[in-house]
Amino acid sequence: MPVATPKQYEAMLNAAQKGVYAYPAVNITSIVTINAALKAFADARSDGIIQVSTGGGQFASGLSVKDAAFGAIVLAEATHVLAEKYDVLVALHTDHCHPEKVDGFLKPLFEASRKRIAEGKGPLFQSHMFDGSVVPLDENLKISKELLKECAELEIILEVEAGCVGGEEDGHDTSGLPAEKLYTTPEDMLEVYEALQPIGRFLFAATFGNVHGAYKPGAVQLKPTILSDGQKAVMDKHGAEAEMDLVFHGGSGSELSEIRETLDYGVVKMNIDTDTQYAFTRPIVTHIGENIEGVLKIDGEVGNKKTYDPRSYLKKAEESMANRLITACEDLRSDGNTIFGKA
């Protein structure tokens, strides 16, 4: 089953940590973007992570429904079916869920996994993200501990964040925050580890200057050594086995050297959304520009059905998005490292 079981997902993360590589975690919103992600991972011979944001789930549920959890379930179930045709492993994950959306988004998804498990299947999602960075750390960890307990019962991994990723994504805007809020301290990393490690496995999005959105190279001031300093604080106190599974958010515009440096410090997952959104849209614009008289019925003409058929440009979008994701696999060194058939 190419959607990873809980044990296979843990094996994926262990392999990435041991092999010093990371998985691209690509946001999807539709059948077309799911297929692009699966094609990319298969072509790159890479396992990977497919994730749904609250906004992506709401979009997928349709304009009349606008239910983020329902749309996320639809996308996840579709991925379970489509992934059966591939020979790499993918894990399903949900992106940034803030405290006020836990009851309406995460809780229904927990229930969907609980139902699948009762039917003898695996959980719907293999991991979820709770983004408590918008509240003080003690409140963040109080909520995180409760969510991790529920996740652990379902064999689901929880991703948490301390420190804020800057910029704007899915309507959540932190662009006005002071610069120091973009950097997690070693003390914070130690506190997160000690609060969560006794409960279950977790992923940690520690921030080191990350900013959501598109930027020219050099515009975002990353400090990857923050990850190293935090890991050292944890391992100095709790031993080498305490090295945490870290997540890199807001990587658009980052130098390849900076991306690769984070792998040395324990990053096993890097989110990719902005770059794949652009890769998806760019060929659609080209198609329309080159076929404007066929796409539009100008001056009473009838146009050209072959060029305004959505399949004509969505195929190009799927291929372009897949190619960009293959590049992400290569940048993160996950290409050629599938553990499919080994775990």
pLDDT, tens digit, 9 for 90 and up, residues 229-286: 999 999 999 999 999 999 998 777 788 998 999 999 999 999 999 999 999 999 999 9
Residue 178: which region, alpha, beta or left (left: phi > 0; alpha: psi -120 to 50)? beta
Residue 97 covered by a domain: yes
Mean pLDDT of the chain: 92
Question: Are 276 and 325 contacting, i.e. CB atoms less than 8 angstroms apart?
Answer: yes
Instruction: Check residue 172 and give its pLDDT.
Output: 46
Domains of the chain: total: 1
* DSSP 3-state of 248: strand
Domain containing residue 218: CATH number: 3.20.20.70
Cα–Cα distance measured from residue 1 to residue 230, given in angstroms and rounded to the nearest whole number: 36
Task: Specify if 286 maps to a domain.
Answer: no
What letter would DSSP give residue 193? H
Residue 130 is assigned to a structural domain of this protein: yes
Question: Residue 176 has what pLDDT?
Answer: 47
Segment 43-96, tens digit of pLDDT: 999 999 999 999 999 999 999 999 999 999 999 999 999 999 999 999 999 999
- Residue with more model confidence, 179 or 253: 253
Which tokens hold the place of 279?
């890769």
pLDDT confidence of residue 169: 47
Q: Which helix (H) or strand (E) holds 165?
A: none
Does residue 142 lie within any of the structural domains? yes
- What is the share, in percent, of the chain residues with pLDDT greater than 90? 83
Among candidates 283, 267, 179, 166, which has minimal Cα distance to 214? 166
Q: Is the pLDDT of residue 103 over 90?
A: yes
Residue 85 half-sphere exposure, CB side, CA atoms within 13 Å? 10
pLDDT higher than threshold 90 for residue 218: no
| Active site (annotated) includes residue 43 | no
pLDDT category of residue 180 using cuts at 50, 70 and 90: low
CA distances to 21, 34, 124, 136 from 25, rounded to whole Å, are 13, 12, 17, 27
Radius of gyration of the chain (CA): 20
Catalytic residue among 43, 47, 67, 95: 95
To the nearest 10 degrees (0 to 180), the angle between helices 137-153 and 186-196 is: 40
What DSSP line would sit under 81-130, residue for residue?
HHGGG-SS-EEEEE----GGGIIIIIHHHHHHHHHHHHTT---S-SEEEE
Per-residue pLDDT band at 222 (split at 50, 70, 90): confident
| Number of continuous H segments (helices) and E segments (strands) in the chain | 13, 10
> CB count, 10 Å around CB of 302?
8
Instruction: Give the position of tokens 């910029």.
Output: 167
8 Å CB contact between 168 and 175:
yes
Assess if residue 299 is contained within a domain.
no
What pLDDT score was predicted for residue 55? 97
The predicted structure's pLDDT at residue 174: 47
Q: Is 114's pLDDT higher than 70?
A: yes
Mean pLDDT of 103-107: 98
Helices (H), 154-273: 186-196, 225-238, 256-264
Asked if the structure places residue 32 within a domain, the reply is yes
Band (pLDDT 50/70/90 cuts) for residue 197 is very high
Q: Domain range holding 95?
A: 6-280+322-331
pLDDT digits (tens, 9 = 90+) for 299-336: 999 999 999 999 999 999 999 999 999 999 999 999 99
Residue 73: predicted pLDDT: 98
Read off the pLDDT of each residue in 216-221 and give the average, rounded to a whole number.
Answer: 57
Q: Which two tokens stand for residue 209?
A: 């200057």
Token pair of 323 as six digits: 């190619």
Distance (Å, rounded) from C-alpha 309 to C-alpha 312?
6
Can you say whether residue 21 is alpha, beta or left, with left for phi > 0 and alpha for psi between -120 and 50 degrees? beta
